[in-house]
Amino acid sequence: MSNKFNVGWNLENTYMSLPNIMFSAINVNPVGNPQLVKLNKELATSLGLNSNALESKQGVEQLAGNTIIEGGIPIAQAYAGHQFGHFTMLGDGRALLLGEHISPSGELFDVQLKGSGRTPYSRGGDGRAGLGPMLREYIISEAMHALGIPTTRSLTVITTGEDIMRETVQRGAVMTRIAASHLRVGTFQFAAKWGTHEELQALADYAIERHYPILMNKENRYLLFLQEVITRQAALIAKWQLVGFIHGVMNTDNMTISGETIDYGPCAFMDTYNPNTVFSSIDIQGRYAYENQPNIAGWNLARLAESLLPLIHEDQDEAVKQAQEAMTAYPKIYETHWLTGMGNKLGIFNIEEGDISLIDNLLQLMEQYGADYTNTFRLLTLGKIEEIDLYGKDNFDQWHEKWQKRLEEQDVSKDFIQQLMQKSNPIVIPRNHRVEEALEAAVEKEDYSVFENLLKVISNPYDYSSDYIDYTTLPPDTSGPYKTFCGT
């Protein structure tokens, strides 16, 4: 390999140390004419990779799945999952793991190709992906990263030169996803259901050593492992709620052990505040509505706890008792993160009991009058009360007066309060109509300028010095509610 083509990959294949039941070896599925449409240069740099080499013909061939990265061994991971409450066998049906890249800081990151073709887990699918859904994942995951929310990220999006058939004919694409790992609650469900005790233990030890190494030599490490995952997920879901993010498919196979957000299918950000908001076209019953996300996360974590019972204690009753005690911490941890975050959004740095009603009253007013979630907090931050949808409405004046009085009780400066609110309230989110606008231009017209402009804006969501006013406006009224689709 020439010096000119030195990407900087430093791959290990640690997942292959697990029992064979946990994965399947995969042959690459070449595509006809791969073309790079987006490289995340900031992410590449943080991983110690050479952007010029990634953009070269050889680099694109590798990340399209036509050739294998040096040191990479393609595998598809096995896992199960409760999908809308129904348990089923799953696995990587359109993705392959090339290996784990060691970054310059010594961190380990999964390198996965999504849309790379059929695997033993494809269940009749073609294993491919469309350009629109891959660009959507790129946009939303980068927005989440900029918002300070743990997330997988996209390194590249590459068109394949081939069409795929969904509801309509779509341009094919492959995305490179970078993750702390792709270990899921569903991975443990799979091992608990179809693996031996030893195979389940091997998986748990691998997850602990990778994500919670400080626990490795603890006698009760599996219970402590459960507690750590509960803690991370409680913090993650609180962050979702605080910015109005709705995942759309909170199946157990879409909940990571690392605490990262994963799988950006029918996800979207809420505009007008409504706790019942659902965007996903397949979520007919509203199982994964905005207000249900904290409880669903708890339900998913209970499925992880069930999977770990044989490891927590050899006595079933004692294992159940310890797992249940661990689970009781989830709502308390979530509530603490959410209340602290909501307090920060209102400039309150030390939550007191009376603040809960102050928060609830504001949310009730927002729901009653259909106020925009992000813009309400943005305008409160800026002190532009007259521009808020609630201005002049019944009870808002009283609420505002109580809020101002509460802020005055704090022994801090107005500048401190302002800075706290600015760090807690994004001025922009990837509004649904803006995302669709960018995807339509890219997919239908091969015009990526709208996509690039949107990325630039959402990369600085807390920059109050910027002039992003055009990106804060709501879409014009349409004939029906906004719907998103999985794209699978």
Q: Where are the alpha helices (DSSP H) in 263-382?
A: 293-312, 316-327, 329-345, 355-369, 373-382
Q: How far apart are CA 403 and CA 384, in angstroms?
A: 15
Could you identify the residue written with the tokens 């709620």? 241
Amino acid 4 reads K
What are the beta bridge partners of residue 23? 77
List C-alpha distances in Å: 411 to 101, 348, 407, 415: 48, 11, 9, 12
Rounded to 5°, angle at Cα 141 from 229 and 48: 90
Q: How far apart are CA 255 and CA 184, in angstroms?
A: 5
Rounded to 5°, angle at Cα 29 from 23 and 35: 125
Amino acid 140 reads I
For the chain, the C-alpha Rg in angstroms (whole number) is 23
Q: How far apart are CA 391 and CA 399, in angstroms?
A: 11
Q: Which of 92, 253, 263, 271 is catalytic?
A: 253
Six token digits for residue 450: 């709208």
DSSP 8-class letter at 69 = P
Six token digits for residue 369: 């009058």
- The torsion angles phi and psi of 405, rounded to 5 degrees, stand at -65, -40
Q: Tell me which H or E stretch contains 165.
A: strand 153-165
Six token digits for residue 319: 């294992």
List C-alpha distances in Å: 465 to 130, 152, 346, 425, 461: 36, 28, 20, 14, 11
- Active-site residue flag, 253: yes
Six token digits for residue 253: 């196979």
Could you identify the residue written with the tokens 């950000």? 269
Q: Dihedral of the CA atoms 156, 278, 145, 128 (nearest 10)?
A: -10
Catalytic residues: 253
